[in-house]
Amino acid sequence: MLVRIYEENPNPKFIEQAVDILRKGGVIIYPTDTVYGIGCDITNQKAIERVCKIRGLKPEKSNLSFICYDLTDISQYTKPFDTAVFRVLKKALPGPFTFIFNASGQVPKLLSTKKKTVGIRIPDNNIVREIVKELGNPIVTSSIRDEDDIIEYSTDPELIHEKYEELVDLVIDGGYGDNIASTVVDVTSGEFEVVREGKGVLEAYL
């Protein structure tokens, strides 16, 4: 199923439809402020396993991130961090970054992993943030990659739908996606360490 949602003014009916699918354990594909993502409700173990299977990942080893609505959401999933980090987050988010934190005890239980870290995203995209807000908790997310390594990421929602319609419950057409992923920043040591250069320029916020 392919549904067109406009970022400037997301139709509440379509947002509700996406949330309903997530609550029932469904998997959806959606736009972010970088590349298209695939995800599910973080509280649904079977749905998380489905996302991993579609992406060819092992659940216990996968680097899945959480999409949160805003900064108030993240404290449940991360260990406390200092105010200097918080100040940068406040300036940089919503934005094209994935910040890696030390995970709270909640995360391994949700992801059935032994990982001690968690990636958090708050994309600057109204569609996915409205879905998360309406759902009431974050969604697990992974990027939609292209089989062609030169292209790396699929950007056309209609082509994404063609490829994934049998595998997922809903593809949201939010217009063409980007083909540059988020900048990944490790803050587990209290310092900012860029581990993958992407769309976000961290220096602008330090």
The predicted pLDDT at position 151 comes to 65
Cis before residue 94, ω within 30 degrees of 0? yes
**Overall CATH class of domain 2-204:** alpha beta
Q: Strand 183-186 to strand 97-102: parallel, antiparallel, or no bridges (unpaired)?
A: parallel
161-204 pLDDT, tens digit per residue, is: 999 999 999 999 999 999 999 999 999 999 999 999 999 999 99
Please tell me the total number of residues recorded for the chain in this structure: 206
Could you give the C-alpha distances from 137 to 55, 83, 104, 189, in angstroms and in order? 22, 24, 15, 26
The predicted pLDDT at position 105 comes to 85
**CA 85 to CA 118: how far, in whole Å?**
15
**CA 201 to CA 123: how far, in whole Å?**
14
- Mean pLDDT score, 14-39: 97
pTM greater than 0.85: yes
